Chains A and B, each alone.
Chain A
């Protein structure tokens, strides 16, 4: 996030960079627990999310780069534990891709809520947010 001039008013100077570093540290720790290489991560402001994710969204997983992209403006407005769930949800897409490749996402014809890979990612985020809450607050403390 070097584009300081483009930073939104909601993000104090350096906040995005600090949080991006913290997210990297958090995802490295979680990846170690699951025995996978960590994904790269980028926090981008809301005005740029569509160029990274193809659509306006709170986040996405770019499988070719093994990269999680998160919308800073979106996440900054969420409850801190909801942010953790979003991050873990995207992390699970990374695990799905590492384990099964493109096949993991072969259910994209189905409606979003009926796709097994999304159902599992959602369940993973909800379940493991309880276990990673302490680490999350220690490393990131989203609003602190």
Chain B
């Protein structure tokens, strides 16, 4: 995987997203920008569909 490859960029964005999600200090706004960056790079979707399906089935929530 080259340093400038799409796969590498997506992997780093995924790690960054996970870091922000777990952090109590980093602003959640950063998630929006990470999501936008992932869109621009055309990464695969970052959130497991199973989580969102479960949320909708159990609580009727559609996230974003």
Give the distance to chain B from A75, nearest Cβ to Cβ, in Å. 8
* Chain B interfacial residues counted at CB < 8 A: 23
Tally of contacts, chain A with chain B, CB under 8 A:
82
- Selected A-B contacts with CB under 8 Å, 19 pairs: A46-B27, A49-B28, A55-B51, A56-B31, A57-B28, A58-B31, A60-B61, A60-B63, A61-B62, A62-B59, A62-B60, A63-B60, A63-B61, A63-B62, A74-B27, A89-B64, A102-B56, A112-B46, A112-B52
B5 proximal to A (CB < 8 A): no
- Taking residues whose C-beta sits less than 8 angstroms from the other chain, chain A's interface range is 20 to 34
Binding site for A on B (CB under 8 A): 21, 27-29, 31-32, 39, 44-47, 49, 51-53, 55-56, 59-64
